[in-house]
Amino acid sequence: MQRMVPAGRRVSSCGGAIVVLVMGLAALSQAQPAAGDSREKAPPQGVTDLISVAGGGEIRGAVVKRFPDGSLDVAVQRDWLETSAPEAAEVLGAQERRQTKTVMEALAKRLAATIAPLPESRTRTLGLLRREADRVDDWLAAAEQASDRDAAARSADDEGADRPIRPRAARRGDSQFTLLRIAPKLVKKVRPSGQDAQRIARWAWSERLEDVEGRSAADLTKELQGRGIDPLSPPPGLGDRLPPLPQDDREWAARMALVEDALGDVVAFQGFGDTVVKAGEAEGGLAGLLPQLGQLLGGGNGALGGLGLDEILGGLQGGGLPGVPAIPPATPGGANPAGKQPERWLLSARAQAADAGHYRATRVNVDAANGRAEVESVFEVRMPDGSWETIWREVRAADAARANEAVVERITADERINGLLQTIRGIGLVNEASIMQAIRVGAATSTAQGEIDTAFNDFRSRHVQRLDGPPLRWDGR
């Protein structure tokens, strides 16, 4: 669907973004502060990404995705857009409302189809799904009423009758941002803000400070610090402040898998190297560090369930690490690269989770030679076409330098671990410094596992509180 707007602007919708197709972006230049505004004026860049477009205009916001063809998805604060280009904002808003109605109607159908086969015993899952269904029904009813009011207002306009002007909030709906897709031929230059500026901008948007796009980093920092916020700390996510976007079957499958993990039966695996078993079948608590300590001190093959003393002795005498692969360099969290052959531990977990269709797996890779370890965790979902995809991944290093002293003390006080250490000390083949190094790496591993659990819980929570957003993206989607 396309519609011409004043000054030659034309918009359409594609993949959930409102697409600016041709001309008219010159109006999207930086909004000037109101007369008498005493705030410090922003430098040319400010704290936002700055996109120069054909015709001499500028768009200030956050580039959320770059496409291979050169087009961009840019999140733009609705207040800025309405101030900079009110005519375009009005038409874009109308297009977005039509798209949102389509999204909500599709969500209502999906929810009904998901709820229907579930037994009443699935109380927690049904509770969430039914609350969402009620919310969607309420939204659609309110949208219908708003449509009737708009029709009446247009009729009044046609008749020349006076009517009160609706406040901006009533026109724009609830979402703070809109999403623009800029066609490649309109993108003249992209000047991304640096990491510090991006954090300041996101904190300022999160706090809904005024005129974020027109203020300097120093000015915004001062106001944020006055609210007790460190503007260079990791900012909160803002995905829930976008309008609802269309979801394909893959995204819906991933979101429902997160719901099941949060409220239904948890399917989780843990292990070392290429070996993972169902959580609960391995040693729990601090005793789960026994295989790792054995590897760090030169013994054992990392099998779960604890190490027998004969295995420890044999490993110490052999001085090697049979069956323990060298760990690769740490990589940032994210999905597996497209086309990459799945690793053996993932193939094992997928086979064990075949009935569930989703799982979370966490493994520890031990690098005994360098006295360190690495914790890696993934959440995978089987897609409608039968393929498995990694929708979340996190990797954390665990080395002695990161050891928490309180955890070190708990490890050394643990009865089973202390028994292992006393046996090793009694043999006399490992010096005390090596033993303490292994303990500290074990403590760092425990801390890293806790951090990864927190990161996953935060990720899951963000994507199941509402089932129409924020967007769930992986593999560069």
Residue type at position 225: Q
Bridge partners for 269 per DSSP: 278, 361
Q: Tell me what pLDDT residue 441 has.
A: 84
Q: Tell me what pLDDT residue 339 has.
A: 54
| pLDDT of residue 161 exceeding 60 | no
| pLDDT of residue 271 exceeding 50 | yes
Task: Indicate the burial class of 473 (C-beta count within 10 angstroms; 0-12, 13-18, 19 or more).
Answer: middle
Q: What is the mean pLDDT of the chain?
A: 77
Backbone angles phi, psi at 191, to 5 degrees: -115, 95
Share of the chain above pLDDT 90, in %: 40
Q: For residues 4 and 291, which has the higher predicted lDDT (pLDDT)?
A: 291
Q: Tell me what pLDDT residue 424 has.
A: 73
| pLDDT of residue 348 exceeding 60 | yes
pLDDT digits (tens, 9 = 90+) for 414-431: 777 777 777 777 777 677
Q: Tell me what pLDDT residue 237 has.
A: 84
Angle value at C-alpha 125, between 124 and 130, nearest 5 degrees? 100
Q: Tell me what pLDDT residue 366 has.
A: 81
pLDDT digits (tens, 9 = 90+) for 8-18: 444 455 556 55
Q: Tell me what pLDDT residue 289 has.
A: 55
CA distance 216 to 418: 57
Q: For residues 344 and 39, which has the higher predicted lDDT (pLDDT)?
A: 344
Highest mean pLDDT among 136-140, 312-316, 331-335: 136-140
Q: Tell me what pLDDT residue 121 has.
A: 95
Q: For residues 115 and 432, which has the higher predicted lDDT (pLDDT)?
A: 115
pLDDT digits (tens, 9 = 90+) for 366-390: 876 677 889 999 999 999 999 999 9
Sheet containing strand 9-14, strands side by side: 3-5, 9-14, 17-22, 177-182, 72-77, 58-66, 49-53, 187-191
Q: Tell me what pLDDT residue 143 has.
A: 85
CA distance 216 to 201: 10
Instruction: Specify the pTM.
Output: 0.74
Over residues 36-62, the mean pLDDT reads 75
Q: For residues 356 and 426, which has the higher predicted lDDT (pLDDT)?
A: 356
Task: Indicate the burial class of 372 (C-beta count within 10 angstroms; 0-12, 13-18, 19 or more).
Answer: buried
Overall residue count recorded for the chain in this entry: 477
**How many angstroms from the chain centroid is the CA of residue 3?**
34
Return the half-sphere exposure (C-beta side, CA atoms, 13 A cut-off) of residue 117.
3
Over residues 248-262, the mean pLDDT reads 97
Q: For residues 36 and 365, which has the higher predicted lDDT (pLDDT)?
A: 365
CA distance 354 to 334: 23
Over residues 223-238, the mean pLDDT reads 94
